[in-house]
A and B are shown apart, each in its own frame.
Chain A
Amino acid sequence: MGFAASVTLGLAGLFALAWVLRAGARALLTGHSRSIASDMPLTAAFGLLVIVIYAFVAIAAPLLAPFPERDIVGTQFQAWSADHPLGTDRIGRDMLSRLIYGARNTVGIAFATTALAFVVGSLLGLWAALTGGWLDQILSRFVDALMAIPALIFSLLLLTIFGTSVLSLILVIAAVDATRVFRLARSVAQGIVVMDYIEAARLRGEGAWFLIRREILPNAMAPLVAEFGLRFCFVFLSISSLSFLGLGIKPPTADWGSMVRDNATLITFGDVTPLLPAGCIALLTVAVNFVVDWQLYRASGLREATQ
């Protein structure tokens, strides 16, 4: 169980570092940013730290990785050694390097997909709420029908039709998740479009695009940002699951989901290496959840109410 101990130690180290950074931020910052740092729970600080580390690894991947992503640099399934800190995979590629490049590929693709789902879903949702009438009815009923099919099953159906490539993966997952974003954006906007200032802007003769951009969107931002975090987690998990099933991002591109699938045989021999990419996925999801929790807590004004 030396491995479990080192994982626990690593997590504890991250928590300690998060605590130190938070204390540093409290001491150095002034004004508004200081008040944010001072009521940030430790879990949120930990989440932010993890997200920053992932972002750094994703951006600096070529500098950090000891070997190129796709090169075969050893024999297959080598054990952990000084040359290959995490050993090699099924055909002799360096595991550590692929893990590092995976941050760029997997997280990058998940991020792009979430962003696409968000732009499409929230714009349509806001537009539907603003316009109302038959447009709203058609879009909402259509989304209802799509949401009656379980997300993974619907994605599998669409992937069969469009074929399994990275582009179709992004488009399919974005389309499926846009329906969920649409629901939320529409219900948030419905509370806003009845406000007097929207009426006033309408009487001024502003068009729909101006209303969405300048009047509704700024007021709907808080719940949408929190939803972005949650949605990212869902998208990230479904992309990883599909890649794990061999239907998403495919080798030789380094991707955490397919790395688990590729090397899964090692697990039956008691080797933990194939679990590392899955652990990377889990750690990021937990971190994002922590930050989203904190944001929701701040947005809901619970802190003021309890004081």
Chain B
Amino acid sequence: MILTRIALGVGLLFVVSLVIFWATELLPGDLATQLLGQSATPETVAALRAQLGLNDPAPVRYWAWLTGALTGDFGVSLANNRPIADLIGARLGNTVFLALYAAALSVPIALTLGILSALWRNSIFDRMANAGALGAISLPEFFIAYILVLWLAQTGFFPSMVRINPTTTFGDRLYMTFLPALTLTLVVTAHMMRMTRAAIINLMASPYIEMARLKGLSPLRIVLRHALPNALAPIINVVALNLAYLITGVVVVEVVFVYPGLGQLMVDAVSNRDIAVVQAIALIFAAAYIGLNLIADVLSTITNPRLMHRR
């Protein structure tokens, strides 16, 4: 069961790497002419073609790119000829740090809010939480980010720009990245909370919960001991999906806070049309996305014996 799912995930990743690579082949003409523009001389085009290895057939180039990527060698940037692995190196760590930070904030908040609003269904608290969630989903990330800057950075509580260097201590880092992490938290909490609430309310209608209620157990105990374990599978799924969503949210938020992460690097690379860097980062993001979905499926299979021993 689990092994087939993992094999499927790896297969999907392979297909996605194909898509990312072949996207460049979609161009009318070729990449070199496209990058240099109409006015380029044939010599410069030929030179760039040689540099990009465009003279090899596509499958050969794909194989070289994929095997390189697997060993951490993504080739060189088209913009400044530096190895992409060097460009990505520290930034990957920063982005992972920010995403984990946001996850550590948002998952407990979302689960607590979700459980509480399921417990006090249709109360004022539930309505407020739901309205807030709907609102937060509709707002662009940069809007939330700038409102936080206006309220929290303007008043001097937190810095509005993140300057990280190797000497920064862990505590300082937590303090400096608080606003970006909080922005991401606000963006993903809403969806997680609503799904947690829906999963628990769905279960609360089942007969064994009614039995527990008739035994006279307290509502909190019913939710925590009886409903929550069975709601774990959908909740894990939603948490993983939202962590995967953090990956795209991170791009905008990093730009707002001038955070030295992968998202910022990718945006710069897109405006420079540095396709090699963009492909490398897209592959990393897609791999993380597929990996998180894979982990979600595996975990929800493990938590549910019925899925574990199907047929």
Contacts and interface: CB of A to CB of B under 8 A. Distances in A.
Interface of A: 145-146, 148-154, 156-164, 233, 237, 240-241, 244-247, 257, 260, 264, 267-268, 270, 272, 274-275, 278-279, 281-282, 285-286, 289
A268 B154 contact: yes
Given A145-B19, A156-B267, A278-B143, A161 B24 contact: yes
A150 B247 contact: yes
A241 B19 CA distance: 24
Nearest to B37: A163
Q: Which 7 residue pairs of A and B lie closest in terms of their CB atoms, listed nearest first?
A: A278-B143, A285-B138, A152-B248, A160-B278, A286-B138, A150-B248, A153-B285
Given A151-B248, A161-B24, A278 B16 contact: no
A161 B279 CA distance: 10
Q: Is the interface of A mostly helix, strand, loop or mixed?
A: helix
B138 A157 contact: no
A245 B250 CA distance: 12
Interface of B: 12, 15-16, 19-20, 23-24, 26-27, 31, 34, 134-135, 137-143, 146-147, 149-150, 153-154, 160, 244-245, 247-248, 251-252, 255-256, 266-267, 269-271, 273-275, 278-279, 281-282, 285-286, 289-290
Contacts of B279: 157
Contacts of A162: 27
Given A244-B140, A285-B138, A150 B289 contact: yes
23 contacts: A149-B286, A150-B244, A150-B247, A150-B285, A152-B248, A153-B285, A154-B282, A156-B282, A157-B23, A157-B282, A160-B270, A161-B275, A241-B140, A247-B267, A260-B142, A267-B154, A268-B154, A270-B150, A279-B143, A282-B138, A285-B138, A285-B139, A289-B134
A150 B138 contact: no
A157 B20 contact: yes
Given A148-B290, A159-B270, A268 B160 contact: yes
Contacts of B16: 145, 148-149
Interface centre among A152, A160, A260, A268, by most chain B C-beta atoms within 10 angstroms, is: A160
Contacts of A149: 16, 19-20, 282, 285-286, 289
Question: In the complex, which of the residues B16, B26, B134, B138 has the most CB atoms of chain A within 10 Å of its own CB atom?
Answer: B138
Given A150-B285, A272-B150, 20 more contacts: A145-B15, A148-B16, A149-B282, A149-B289, A150-B245, A152-B251, A153-B251, A153-B266, A156-B251, A156-B282, A163-B34, A241-B252, A245-B252, A260-B143, A270-B154, A274-B146, A278-B140, A279-B143, A282-B138, A286-B135
